[in-house]
Structure formats: C-alpha cells, structure tokens
Amino acid sequence: MEATHIGFPPLTMAVFVAIAVGALLLDMVTHRGDKPISLTKASVWSVFWILISLGFAAFLYYQHGAEVASLFVTGYALEKVLSVDNLFVFMAIFAWFKVPDGLRHRVLYWGIIGAIVFRGVFVAIGTGLLAFGPWVEIVFAVIVAWTAIMMLRSGGDDGEEDYSTHMAYRFAKKLFPVWPKLHGNRFFVRRKELEIELTKPENKGMSLAAKGGLFATPLFLCLVVAEVSDVLFAFDSVPAVIAVSREPLIVYSAMLFAILGLRTMYFVLEALKRYLVHLEKAVIALLFFIAIKLGLNATDHIFHHGYKIGANTSLMIVMVVLLIGVVASVIFPEKEDSQAESN
C-alpha cells in the first residue's frame, strides 16, 4: 500500500481526518446551549471520548501493528494527564473573570479549537526540528525537565493570580474597547446595543470609549487569556509527546484525541479537584520520566550506549504512575480539610 510523505497510507490519514472532523461536529451540535453541564453528563461524555480514542487505537493496531497502537495510546495518555494541570489553570481563570458555569463550556469550545490549530503548528515545527539531530532532543529534554522543576518548586500554590496584568489581557484591551460587564454569551457587542444598555438604571454612571463600534466583553478577555495560557502550555506538552514518537501523525492524533475530551473533562475535574490532591505529583514524575527518555534516546544517537525505553515500557510506566497518583489521592486525602473541620 502506498504511504504518504509522513509515513502512513492514505487510508489511515482518511480515517483519522474523518473521525476528527466528525468528533468536532458532534461536539459542536451537542453542546450549543448555555446551561451548566452536570457531573453525570460530563462523566458520560468523557468516557465516550476515551472510547473514540481507543477505537482509533484499535484501528492502528489492526492496520499497523501493536507498536504503533502502543505509541498512540502512550502519547494520548501523556497529553491527557499533562492537560490536567492546564485545566486547573482554566478553573482559576474562570473564577477570576467570574464566568458563570453555563458559559464556561463556550469559552472552552473556542479555546479547544485554538488548541487543535496551535498543536498542529507546534507538532510540525517540533518534529521538523528533530531532523537537525539528537541535540534537538536534548534541548527538548531540558525544556520538559525544567517544567517539572518549576511545578515542583511551586508546591501546588493555589494563590490567586491577578489576570489584569496578564500579557494577553493587556493586549486584548489594546485591540478593542471593553464593556466591563458580561452581555449574555457574546464575545463582542456593538456600540448601538450598549448605548441602549446605558439607559438602564443599573448602568448609571457608566460610559463608552470615545472610539470603537465594537466592544469586547469580559468573556472575550477570558478566552484570550485561556488561549495564550494553553499556547504556553503547549511548549511543554508537545516536546513530551514527541518523546514518544517522531511520527507527526502519531503525535498529532494522540494530542488531538486527548484535547477533544478536555471540555467535558474540565467539569469532571472541577467537581473532583479537591479529591485528586496527589495527581499533580504524578504529572511531575511523568515529566521527569519523559526528560530521561528523551535524554537516553539523544545520547544513544551520539554515544551509541544502547540504552533506550521502548514503546510498551513507556506505556506501562505512564499508566502505572497515573494510577499511583489517583490511588494515593484516595488513600491519603488532603490533610487541611480534616484540620479545618477540627477547628
């Protein structure tokens, strides 16, 4: 069978595109309202997205063998668990902007669309850079290890950040005049509509900027901050997943299928955040593991020492570390809660 320039036959490419586009359309149609998503509904959808991903893994197993399927599942699991920390950042962003529960999935939807686009760009650049030799892998290993060290040093600090100083917030305010109140589920409002709003008693004393026919709402500022935060996160996660495979389709498909389930996974994590107290430690451990894997692979190309971590071994380590993080959270819950109760 004829292969494409990225190493996979047209059938595999067609199946991937069909599933990805179909999943995006399904997500768009089924989450159009502005009602909060319940934990039960979010959990069911999260399981559904996992099954879709495993279905694609089964297709890869049937068409290309166990190793390719294992690489995909490893990359998928890595992106999924690394995204947990990013979703916790989204929770802080939504809280600061005071975004109602019913509007959060709208911001997440457009944020995920942006994440899919930017991941594609970063994967193309990242896998292309590997052609320059093993020293690029060493740079990637340093980036991943540095991320783990920064997370370790932060010690799970939950201090609230002032997002009015965020570079994305300030940039968005320079592009558009801002109406300081939410206006339904809209990112932008026309001046004519706001002139009517100013006649209402609750908006007494408010005024519009001298120029501008289109005003951004806090929901748009929230989206921009969340999107830029995700792009910065991609600088860490893309090298980590590239450590699993150099094949662009494996890397991008693993990331895309993991991202597709993030919108519903957010609401599951929001409900379970206080229980998954040791999951971030598992994420840190996985980042150190990925840095070691990248370093071993790069130095083997340079010094030919013969030490490598195989695809199946990587998958097993990722799954075991993730399971340990979840089990540890159940066995050793947050101590502060019990102390607060006693006080």
Instruction: Give the residue with greater pLDDT, 1 vs 217.
Output: 217
> pTM of the predicted model, to two decimals?
0.78
Domain-located, residue 183: no
Domain-located, residue 316: yes
Would you call 215 helix, strand, or coil by DSSP? strand
- DSSP state at residue 200: S
Domain-located, residue 309: yes
Contact 264, 46 (CB under 8 A): yes
Overall domain count for the chain = 1
Instruction: Label residue 342 by pLDDT band (50, 70, 90).
Output: very low
Q: Phi, psi (5° rounding) for residue 254?
A: -60, -45
Domain-located, residue 188: no
Question: Is a pLDDT exceeding 90 seen at residue 10?
Answer: no
pLDDT tens digits, 128-145: 887 777 788 788 788 778
Instruction: Give the residue with greater pLDDT, 274 vs 316.
Output: 316
Instruction: Label residue 156 by pLDDT band (50, 70, 90).
Output: low
Domain-located, residue 126: yes
Q: Tell me which of 41-45, 76-80, 94-98, 300-304 is least confident.
A: 300-304
Domain-located, residue 323: yes
* Mean per-residue pLDDT, 286-307: 80
> How confident is the model at residue 206, as a pLDDT?
77
**Which residues, at least 6 apart from 212, have a Cβ–Cβ distance to it below 8 Å?**
176, 177, 191
Q: Supply the mean pLDDT for the chain.
A: 81
* Mean per-residue pLDDT, 288-293: 84
**Tokens 């971030």 found at:** 280
Instruction: Label residue 18 by pLDDT band (50, 70, 90).
Output: very high
Q: Which domain holds residue 62?
A: 10-151+239-342
Domain-located, residue 58: yes
Domain-located, residue 138: yes
pLDDT tens digits, 174-222: 888 888 888 888 899 998 888 888 888 877 777 777 677 888 988 999 9
